[in-house]
Chains A and B, each alone.
Chain A
Amino acid sequence: QSALAQPASVSGSPGQSITISCTGSSSDVGGYNYVSWYQQHPGRAPKLMIYDVTNRPSGVSNRFSGSKSGNTASLTISGLQAEDEADYYCGSYTSSSTWLFGGGTKLTVL
C-alpha cells in the first residue's frame, strides 16, 4: 500500500501560519476518523501532536490544529516558532486493519 501523500516541504516565517496536507483514499483517511499527526526533530522519536483528526493531547500547544475534508486531512500550525522546525507525519488506520503513514513533510521556519 502506498504512503499517504504529503508535500515534501513547507516553509513559513515566524508568526505566520502554515498548513500541511495528507491525502489518502476512502479506505483510509476518508473512511475513518483515526488520523493522527506526529512531529519529529532530528535524531529524536516522533511526538504525537494531533489524534482522531482534531484532538490535541495534553501539553501540545493550541497553535496546532487538525481537520479533514473528504480524503484529505490537514495540520495547521499558527504563530510559527523556531522550535516548530521539524518533520511532520500523518498516519491513518486503513480498511485492511493496518496503519499507514504519510511520506513526511519537512517544515522550515525562515
Chain B
Amino acid sequence: QVQLVESGGGVVQPGGSLRLSCAASGFTFSAYGMHWVRQAPGKGLDWVAFIRYPGTNKYYSDSVKGRFTISRDNAKNTLYLQMNSLRPEDTAVYYCAKDVAEQWLADSWGQGALVIVSS
C-alpha cells in the first residue's frame, strides 16, 4: 500500500532554513506528481508546491515563491522541500501528498511534519 513518511521538521528561528523529506513506498514514485500542503495550528489546508513526475516542472503558492524549493530524487523515491527565509507564519504541519495523473488532487497523504518558526 502507498506509504508517505515525512521527516526533517523541528524548531527554527525566523530567517532560518530547514529541509523536509518525504520517503515514498508502495507505488511507482517516478510516475506521479507530488504536492506539499501545510496546515497551521487550528487552521485550514494551505497548498505549498507541486512537482510533476519527471521533476522538470514546479509550481508554488505566492506565499512561498522565491523562498521554498520543491525537488525530488526518483532514484531514492524521495520528495524534498527546502525552506529558506522562514517566517513565523510558516509554522505548520507540512504534509506530502501524492497526485493522480496530475489532476491536482491528492489520493494519499503522509502523517505530516511539524515546523515551528520561533525565536
**Distance, CA A36 to CA B106, complexed state (A):** 9
Name the residue on A nearest B60 (C-beta): A98
Annotate A16-51 by CB proximity to B: 1 below 8 A, 0 otherwise. 000000000000000000101010100001111001
CB <8 Å contact, B106 and A46: yes
The answer to the question of B111 belonging to the interface, with a C-beta cut-off of 8 Å to chain A, is yes
Looking at chain B's contact residues, the main secondary structure is loop
CB <8 Å contact, A45 and B95: yes
Name the residue on B nearest A101 (C-beta): B45
Q: How many A-B Cβ pairs are below 8 Å?
A: 62
Contacts of A99 in B (CB 8 A): 35, 47, 50, 104
**Distance, CA A67 to CA B1, complexed state (A):** 29
Looking at chain A's contact residues, the main secondary structure is strand
**Distance, CA A66 to CA B87, complexed state (A):** 37
CB <8 Å contact, B109 and A45: yes
Of the residues B44, B62, B109, B112, contact of A101 by C-beta under 8 Å: B44
Binding site for A on B (CB under 8 A): 35, 37, 44-47, 50, 59-62, 95, 100, 103-107, 109-112
